[in-house]
């Protein structure tokens, strides 16, 4: 029987899984640095399962970076890929390459109820877009759209690079501190793992504290242990995320809901649930009513990118002449 494989390729890790009966199975994570090419990593994955290379028929990879053209260079690792050569080397009938955050967004369509925590109550409007936003290494933003035919499309974008919005005098003072360092202050400059550290250092500089925390994990742990500077870092992080997400809902008409993904927020999920996120999301002056009733979920699924790659692959295979 011919097999379908899905992958989620980041800067450090490459995750692979078989796609069977609309779910992933046999998930394995490989270090990209240990393989000269993505073909070699896939061969190793299949070999570990006792599967020959010619058992593979269809493949979808979610890839960090803009996906277009015949050649692709992976962001933050040494791999490159030529579509034709890659397809021939793996003897594939079907090959689909998509952006990794497109895969993440499609993964929201196959979530189980125990894989998300409701942050803001509401009813998703089934025919409206949903916003998928995720602080991680950077800030990913995508829009999930129902296609009207029981399928899904994703509108990719670079929403993590919008200007950081200011909502208080304290934030304005910190923005000035950040502007002196960066010149142009993007949402991603704060709403990411490295952004937590940058915000911590900016608060220390503004308030004449000696910084002693050096990583996102240290800052999160210190905040949860009661360190007042670290607490302010997490508090402002949540508020700024709410403001950026709320701007996205207004811009996109995303009354299908908001999905918070990525590796940062789950480190302090209880703090996040009681933070100022929800208030800042909905604090939009004369348009605040528009955000009322828009549900927000924190996604806790382990492999949403792989699941989304599977959804994308299945939609392609179910479309006549898609390959």
Residue 10 annotated as binding site: yes
How is residue 227 written in tokens?
């360190």
199-207: Cβ within 8 A, 24+ apart? 199/174, 199/233, 199/236, 199/237, 200/229, 200/230, 200/233, 202/174, 202/177, 202/178, 203/174, 203/229, 203/232, 203/233, 204/229, 205/177, 206/173, 206/174, 206/177
Q: Give the span between the Cα atoms of 134 and 123, in whole angstroms.
A: 21
Residue 190 annotated as binding site: no
Cβ burial, residue 260 (10 Å; 0-12/13-18/19+)? buried
Instruction: Label residues 225-251 b or e (16+ Cβ within 10 Å = b).
Output: eebebbbbbbebbbbbbbbbbbbbbee
- 154 contacts: CB under 8 Å, gap ≥ 6: 102, 105, 106, 142, 143, 144, 145
Cβ burial, residue 36 (10 Å; 0-12/13-18/19+)? exposed
Q: Are 28 and 17 in contact (CB under 8 A)?
A: yes
Which one-letter DSSP state was computed for residue 165?
A: P
Residue 42 annotated as binding site: no
- 51 contacts: CB under 8 Å, gap ≥ 6: 3
Residue 22 annotated as binding site: no
Q: Give the span between the Cα atoms of 218 and 67, in whole angstroms.
A: 35
Helix (H) or strand (E) holding 142: strand 139-146
Residue 248 annotated as binding site: no
Residue 308 annotated as binding site: no
Q: Which residues are annotated as a binding site?
A: 7-12
Q: Which residues are annotated as a binding site for ATP?
A: 7-12
């Amino acid at each position: 029987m011919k097999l379908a494989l899905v992958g989620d390729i980041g800067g450090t890790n490459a995750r692979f899984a078989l796609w069977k009966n609309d779910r992933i199975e046999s998930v394995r994570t490989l270090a990209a640095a240990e393989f000269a090419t993505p073909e070699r990593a896939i061969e190793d994955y299949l070999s570990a399962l006792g599967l020959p290379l010619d058992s593979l028929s269809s493949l979808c990879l979610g890839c960090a970076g803009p996906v277009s053209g015949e050649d692709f260079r992976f962001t933050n690792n040494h791999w490159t890929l030529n579509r034709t050569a890659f397809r021939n080397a793996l003897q594939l009938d079907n090959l689909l390459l998509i952006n990794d955050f497109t895969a993440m967004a499609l993964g929201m369509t196959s979530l189980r109820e125990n894989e998300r925590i409701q942050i803001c109550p509401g009813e998703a409007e089934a025919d409206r877009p949903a916003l998928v936003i995720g602080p991680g290494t950077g800030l990913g933003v995508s829009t999930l759209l129902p296609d009207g035919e029981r399928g899904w499309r994703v509108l990719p974008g670079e929403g993590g690079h919008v200007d950081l919005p200011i909502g208080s005098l304290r934030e304005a003072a910190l923005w000035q501190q950040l502007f002196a360092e960066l010149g142009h202050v993007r949402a991603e400059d704060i709403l990411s793992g490295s952004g937590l550290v940058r915000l911590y250092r900016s608060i220390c500089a503004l308030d004449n504290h000696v910084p002693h925390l050096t990583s996102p994990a240290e800052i999160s742990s210190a905040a949860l242990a009661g360190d007042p500077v670290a607490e302010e870092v997490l508090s402002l992080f949540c508020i700024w995320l709410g403001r950026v997400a709320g701007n996205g809902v207004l811009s996109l008409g995303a009354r299908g809901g908001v999905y918070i993904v990525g590796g940062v927020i789950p480190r302090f999920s209880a703090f996040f649930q009681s933070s100022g996120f929800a208030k800042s999301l909905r604090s939009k002056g004369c348009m605040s009513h528009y955000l009322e009733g828009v549900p927000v979920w924190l996604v806790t699924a382990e492999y949403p990118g792989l699941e989304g790659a599977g959804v994308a692959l299945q939609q392609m295979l179910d479309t006549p002449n898609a390959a």
